[in-house]
Structure 1
Amino acid sequence: MTRRVSEAGGATTAGRAPSPQRTSTDHPGGRLAWAELLRVPALFTVPGDALAGAAATAAIPNPRTLLAIGSSLCLYEAGMALNDWADREEDAAERPHRPLPSGRIHPAAALSAACALTGAGLALAARAGRPALAVAAPLAATVWAYDLALKHTPAGPVAMATARGLDLLLGAAATTGRTRGALGPAALLGTHTLAVTAVSRQETRGGTPLTPLAALAATGLLTRLVSRRPAVATWRRSTVRADRMPATAVGAREAAPGLPGAPATPHASGLASGAGPRSRPTYTHAPQPPDAALRVALAAAYAATAVRPYFHATLNPSPPLTQRAVTGGIRATIPLQAALTARSGAGATALLVAALAPLGRRFGRTVSLT
């Protein structure tokens, strides 16, 4: 059957033994049930979006960046709760151990949590400013559209990638009010999410090796791109004549005003008619900054996290190996965010993002990432 993945990379697994019926209010594991529903370890993949977006605009994180992170966390968790609510009937048959079909959390409570978290996410974005809200609103709409309508359609992976990209743009919009400089990193992060989501769709039943192979190729391309310094625009002066006359002829006529056809005054020349010196952009690679080694190391960490499980799933696209590939792809999100942040020249922030990876692994020992 079709595998379903919750917003921004969280996935579900199948095949576990059903748990006894119990509610979150009368069982000591009630808090754990909510942690399972919200997939708490996956939260560590969220702050890096906003921080990478802020770094892409060459800005230092500020209080509005923190508001963007809070908004992202709320919208991410809203997608998690809504995901299980939308799939409660499917889970009752295939994954009865999940919090809703096992009775540990009531479906109405999950839906209420999704609504409340969505409202909180939009409120935090509004507090960060109108540009942030202008990004958070379509992000929230994408989350709800994915969980309620697009999850099992060909548009599902694209919607998931769009959500991740918008989440990065949210950090840029909140920090500086601009998103143009963050479009490139958002596209790279969205490509990674698209690959992970595509692999996850055949996680419970296995499938063709072409999908993990494509994800493997995408990982290699992304590793190469994020390990390189982005091109920057510089400017050079160039003189263009309105009548497109050769520069030698122009110089000769200006040097000898008495010649036939020479302009009587400088204002009669083509240079004075609006065809004077103009600035033209030329794109070059900026000099390597001191943190270039950090950028390369983080890109290598991203590849090391994702490549091996993708390769194994390519050789044998069985459900267990495909599940490992999905888990590896989700975990690789953090080093990719860190590499994108370092690529923008924010080395200290990149280290902060990278530090979230071991924390996510630690919490993942108590609550499953997927």
Structure 2
Amino acid sequence: MQKLNTTDYKVMEKIMKNSKISRTDLSKYLELTPAAISKIIKKLLSYNLIVEKNTLFSTGGRPRVTLAINKNYKKIIGVNLGAGFINIVESNLNGEIIGITERKFAFKGQEKVLELLDEELTKTLSKYDAESVVGIGLATHGVVDRKKGTVIVSPHFKWRNLELRKEFEKKYNLPVIVENDVRSMLIAEHNYGHAKNMKDFIFLYIKNGIGAAIFLNGKIFEGSNYGAGEIGHFIVNEHSNIQCRCGKYGCLETESSEQVLINKVMWKLEEDEKKEVGKNLDITMVYSKAQKREEPYYSIIKESVYNTGKVMGNVLNMIDVNDIIVAGDITTTGELFIRNFKRGIDAMLLEEFNKKIKVRTTKLENMTGVYGAVSLITSNLFEGEKLIKVR
């Protein structure tokens, strides 16, 4: 077999991004002759990397056949590691999800989390032959050096300079790509969501932590120390006595993350001597009641969203991006979220920028993290690390 060359990878990347593409389209997009494209397609078909699909209707002449990546060529394993849960995701080569398992756990130390992760990965990988998996994408909390696959710091898991890629590649004998969870979600949004054709946008994720990821000029902006987007550690309350996991006081995360919102509602209910109402309170209930304008839920969520918008407004003043995509259960409050988030942005943003800002909620809903983990591999099949090889 001939090795894949740069042009082969470019052709496959185009096919990956457009499953209805034809040989004629490829010739035009890549500025190659029809004969050259035909030769490449013949090669890729013989390697079973691509397949011919439905015939496109033509106004005249021979019908055009569409091309697609052979989704069954190999499988992808994704890991979405969050606060108290591990999602193990199985997908076809085209990113199509075929299975998800979840393992929940109470707070554990570094070694115990790694032990649980190893258990779940080993169980999933045992379903496949060694040659049938292309790689593992691992999305996790914290500041991550993607190139080295090292978690520089993860306050939640108390990890420092943990060489996850090195350790897991040795253990499973597979390529492993490790990335910050919110940046992984951004990649998924760019591959499958509203941001598909965007060159500049910010992705904001609100959960038990608050994080952002930045896409500028068609690339992820990581920052000099891989910490770009740590919006959750903006100080929003200088007089707070609640210490953040980062060690500071008054971070946005300690004022507006989900558990904090539950706590604020419960404290207010206790003040109003409505303790019974607050029993068995969860975040879904808080958001549902806030959406119905019930107090104190409504006022607490309204203020939290407004303050988050103010932080985003300051960020937008610095980087001048028009599009923001938000994920997290708080977006289920609909107009309550959008209206007050924009109001917060308006309070801080320079007037001349304001009219162009668009805020959207993720198209991927509660699957953003799952698709994020898989996208770490799909985005490196034919670009980046070029994980697809032929022997």
Global fold match (TM > 0.5)? no
TM-score by length of 1: 0.27
TM-score by length of 2: 0.26
Of Structure 1 and Structure 2, the greater helix share is in 1
Structure index of larger Rg: 1
Of the two structures, which has the highest relative contact order with CA contacts closer than 8 Å and spacing of 6 or more? 1
